[in-house]
Structure formats: C-alpha cells, structure tokens
Structure 1
Amino acid sequence: MAIDLHDPDASYLGFWRENHVCTLTTPRPDGTPHVVPVGATYDPEGGERGIARVIADKHSRKVSHVLAAGPEGARVALCQVSRARWATLEGRATVRADPESVADAVARYTERYGRVPRPNPDRVVIEIALTRAMGRV
C-alpha cells in the first residue's frame, strides 16, 4: 500500500518510532543488492519529502556502496517488519560526515532505540532523501 510522503498517517509514523531492527538495501558495484541489518530513523518533515537516517562506520560496505554511486547518491530501500506489519522507505542515499549531522543522527537513534550507540570516531550518517513510502501497519 502506498503512503503519502507529505502526509503519512499516525499509525505509519508510530511504527517508525517503535524499536525495530531495519534492513538497508544498497546496490553493489555490479548492481546486485546488498542487504544488512541497521538501526534507522525516519523524519517525515526533513527535506522536501522526508529523510531517513542510518548511522554507520565510514569503512562499512553500505557506506562504500553509497559513495560509489557518486554525488547524486545511491537508490536504496530501508525496511522494517514486525509480524504482519511492514514498512518500506525508498530514496537517494548520500553520506554525511560533518559532526553536526552525525550528532543529530546519533540523537535521533538514541531517542528511537532508547540507548546511546557506542562511541565511534569513524561514524558517518547515511541520509536518505525519500521518494517513496509503502507499507501495511
């Protein structure tokens, strides 16, 4: 079921605030999908259509896949499932390493998951400018 990115309903937003492990799918250089578990946050008011964020180590495969796509970013999908409920966000991912963006992403992660992630001097944030949302919550 398609979700209006400009006006997602309360149940969809609520699902993205619950404590769930997500998956991030990034394209490998050969075009095949690379899927990994991540913690993620969804900000429906960020950017033109909302932003999702994933904190990551700058040396991870997911970060290298996004960087390899160039300045326009990589097309990615971020998903979460809980029993019969599911939600997917799609968009263009870019990597931000500036301290303000990383601190903001860490604060959002801490709020959603109820714990501060371990310190990591190599932390970056994958920001996803959203283009599509779908799900059944």
Structure 2
Amino acid sequence: MTAADALSPEYLAFWREYHLCTLTTLRPDGSPHVVPVGVTYDPAAGLARVITDKNSVKVRNVEAAGPGGARVAVCQVHRGRWATLEGRAAVRTEPALIEDAVRRYAERYGRTPGPNPDRVLIEITVDRPLGRG
C-alpha cells in the first residue's frame, strides 16, 4: 500500500470505526511489548493518540527511548482489513492535550473515560501508514 492509498476515504473511515487496537512499544532490552488500546487518528495533523495511565509499562517504554521519542506502531484488524500507523511517540502531560485526546476517544468509542488524575497522552507522529482495505 502506498501512502496515498493509506489516505483513501476507505482507509480513513476504517480509523473512525469502533475497533480496538494494539500498541507496540519496545522494552529497553529491545523486545516488543504489545497491549490492547483505543487509538484515535488525526490524518490532517499526522497524529495518532492513545490515552493511558502514567504508571503503565507502555509509558515507561516510550520515556526510556529519550527525548527523540520511541519508535512505535498501532494496529487494528477486522477480518481481512487491517491498518497500521507507525511513527515516533512521546508522552504528553499538558491538560489541554489530554482533554482533547479524551474527547476524540469518546467520539470514536462512544464513551467518555472516567476521571483519572494519572492520565497522560501517548502522542504518535505518524510517518508510515500501512494497511489493506
């Protein structure tokens, strides 16, 4: 799939449907850590967002990569369709960014997560969309 295909209306619609996803981060020893997450994708901004608890392993893995960010991938699959977004992730703690990410999550998944004072945002600058529609 080319980058142009990944921005097709069908591909973008797939990222708006309700699908649980996986986030793959790398542990300090280089082994993959794969966990289920909810993801939102903003193709105009080139960002994928995952809200999570600041004490999670995925956050520690992203932070361990240093200031340049961690190489990560988020993926979703439904029958023969799949879509992956690869890019650099950073942990964001700004309240306005977290609130925006929670709003986007609620739009996609049809529910607003309960309050969590330890919530942070893993923000992924997407540089490689892949998939099969």
- TM-score (ref. length: structure 2): 0.97
Unaligned runs of 5+ in 2: none
- Aligned with 1:62 (options 46, 51, 58): 58
Contact 1:23 1:35 in 2 (8 A): yes
Contact 1:3 1:135 in 2 (8 A): no
Quick one: which amino acid aligns to residue 63 of structure 2? L
Quick one: which amino acid aligns to residue 54 of structure 1? V
Counterpart for residue 82 of structure 1: 78
Counterpart for residue 17 of structure 2: 18
What is the RMSD of the two structures over their aligned residues, measured on CA atoms? Answer: 1.2
- 2:99 is the alignment partner of 1:100: no
Correspondences of 1:19-58 after superposition (within 5 Å)? 19-46=18-45, 50-58=46-54
- Describe the superposition over 1:48-84 as per-residue Cα deviations: whole angstroms up to 9, x where unpaired: xx00000000000000000000111000000000011
Q: For 1:84 and 1:54, how far apart are their aligned partners in 2?
A: 24
Counterpart for residue 91 of structure 1: 87
Note the C-alpha offset of 1:3: 2.8
Contact 1:2 1:135 in 2 (8 A): no
Q: For 2:3 and 2:132, how far apart are their aligned partners in 1?
A: 9
Q: For 1:111 and 1:34, how far apart are their aligned partners in 2?
A: 27
Quick one: which amino acid aligns to residue 33 of structure 1? P
- 2:68 is the alignment partner of 1:72: yes
Note the C-alpha offset of 1:118: 1.7
Structure 1 residue ranges, 4+ long, deviating more than 3 angstroms after superposition:
none
Note the C-alpha offset of 1:2: 3.0
Q: For 1:103 and 1:130, how far apart are their aligned partners in 2?
A: 20
Contact 1:95 1:126 in 2 (8 A): yes
Counterpart for residue 4 of structure 1: 4
Quick one: which amino acid aligns to residue 3 of structure 1? A
Unaligned runs of 5+ in 1: none
Quick one: which amino acid aligns to residue 95 of structure 2? P
